[in-house]
């Protein structure tokens, strides 16, 4: 199921962090959800990433998510810790602790808010990668961080022995091709709508939000691409399109994924932590309209979908604040 030389897997889920109605982590639901996506076909789980609400999780919660992930996966899927920090010193300590907690790899996001130069980005990634023996995925998402990892910087980072991959949410396919030609880096699609296009030009896999709803179609797409069956991959891609649109278009992916999973009865609450809030009435209506178009998608049966807009409304203030530095 995994490419030779790929220590991360191919179908990676950017895992939501299920929470109770008062915004505390729902640990039994975390265990159930991880088991479900692995059973559906995921061979990698990214905990504490953007979709996992990393910026409002405490460090203790982040480390426990790694530990729970390792326990539930029981070797069936790799557990990658995401997130990081825009403070290099904190990122180093967090990833060191994640390694001790059992993480199989780390995904380092570009420092956000600070808007460092490319020299600063280069130094940040190198120092974090130096601090761990785990394989590293660089997370290039300028829409959230404010700065891209430029092509020249990626080439320099590719020389680091621990930096093995990039999660691309930049959408510059010509740059992806250039990097794949010039380096041995693995690429993971970080945009659910572009999974098949990324795979078609040589990406190793995906790190997806919609895979929280169902990972099975992504397993179909990846396995089809692996054997050169573009027809099967394209058919699965087309069927997934309205579900991807429902999850990724109208509100942040975390919010919509929780709203949908709760409506399917798979998590106890759709609650997110502030400043995220549940969908407003008109946003919920748009999500539901998209879901009505989902047909014949394995693992996504909406015949008994029961959304609860009231339960999703607003956001939670947890008892202990997160560590955002």
Query: Which residue positions form the known binding site for pyruvate?
Result: 51, 207
Torsion angle defined by CA atoms of residues 15, 115, 187 and 5, in that order, rounded to the nearest 10 degrees: -90
Nearest to 107 by CA among 136, 132, 133: 136
Q: Alpha carbon of 28 to those of 17, 68, 69, 309: distances in Å? A: 11, 10, 12, 23
The string over 106-128, giving b where at least 16 C-beta atoms fall within 10 Å of a residue's C-beta and e elsewhere, is: bbbbbbbebebeeeebbebbbeb
Q: Which of 95, 90, 97 is nearest to 135 (CA)?
A: 95
Q: 95, 112, 139, 218: which one is catalytic?
A: 139
Which DSSP symbol is given to 192? G
Point out the annotated binding site.
51, 207
- Note if 167 is an active site residue: yes
- Tell me how far apart the alpha carbons of residues 139 and 164 are, in angstroms, rounded to a whole number: 12
Distances (CA, A) of 42 to 4, 187, 300: 17, 17, 15
Query: Which residues are paired to 137 by β-bridges?
Result: 107, 165
Question: Which of 62, 70, 78, 167 does the annotation list as catalytic?
Answer: 167
Active site residue 95: no
Determine the Cα–Cα distance for residues 282 and 320; give it in Å rounded to an integer. Answer: 32
Helices (H), the chain: 27-40, 59-73, 88-101, 118-130, 142-145, 151-157, 173-182, 195-200, 216-226, 230-248, 253-263, 281-291, 309-312
Name the DSSP class of 51: T
Instruction: List residues with catalytic annotation.
Output: 139, 167
């Amino acid at each position: 199921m995994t490419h030779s030389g790929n220590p991360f897997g191919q179908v990676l889920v950017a895992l939501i962090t299920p929470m109770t109605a008062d915004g505390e982590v729902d640990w039994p639901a975390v265990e159930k959800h991880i088991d479900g996506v692995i059973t559906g076909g995921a061979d990698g789980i990214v905990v504490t990433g953007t979709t996992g609400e990393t910026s409002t999780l405490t460090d203790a919660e982040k480390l426990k998510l790694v530990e729970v992930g390792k326990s539930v996966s029981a070797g069936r899927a790799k557990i990658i810790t995401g997130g990081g920090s825009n403070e290099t010193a904190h990122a180093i300590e967090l990833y060191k602790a994640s390694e001790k907690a059992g993480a199989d790899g780390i995904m380092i996001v570009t420092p956000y808010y600070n808007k460092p130069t490319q020299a600063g980005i280069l130094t940040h990634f190198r120092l974090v990668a130096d601090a761990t023996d785990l394989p590293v995925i660089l997370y290039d998402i300028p829409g959230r961080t404010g700065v891209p990892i430029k092509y020249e910087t990626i080439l320099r980072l590719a020389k680091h022995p621990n930096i093995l991959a990039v999660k691309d949410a930049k959408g510059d396919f010509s740059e992806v091709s250039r990097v794949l030609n010039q380096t041995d880096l693995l690429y993971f699609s970080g945009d659910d709508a572009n999974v098949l296009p990324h795979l078609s030009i040589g990406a190793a896999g995906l790190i997806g939000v919609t895979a929280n709803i169902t990972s099975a179609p992504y397993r179909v797409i990846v396995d089809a691409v692996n054997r050169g069956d573009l027809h099967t991959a394209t058919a699965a891609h087309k069927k997934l399109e309205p579900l991807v649109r429902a999850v990724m278009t109208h509100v942040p992916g975390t919010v919509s994924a929780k709203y949908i999973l709760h409506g399917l009865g798979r998590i106890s609450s759709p609650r997110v932590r502030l400043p995220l809030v549940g969908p407003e009435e008109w946003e919920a209506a748009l999500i539901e309209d998209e879901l009505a178009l989902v047909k014949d998608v394995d693992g996504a049966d909406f015949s008994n979908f029961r959304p609860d807009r009231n339960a999703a409304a607003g956001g939670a203030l947890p008892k202990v604040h997160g560590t955002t530095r």
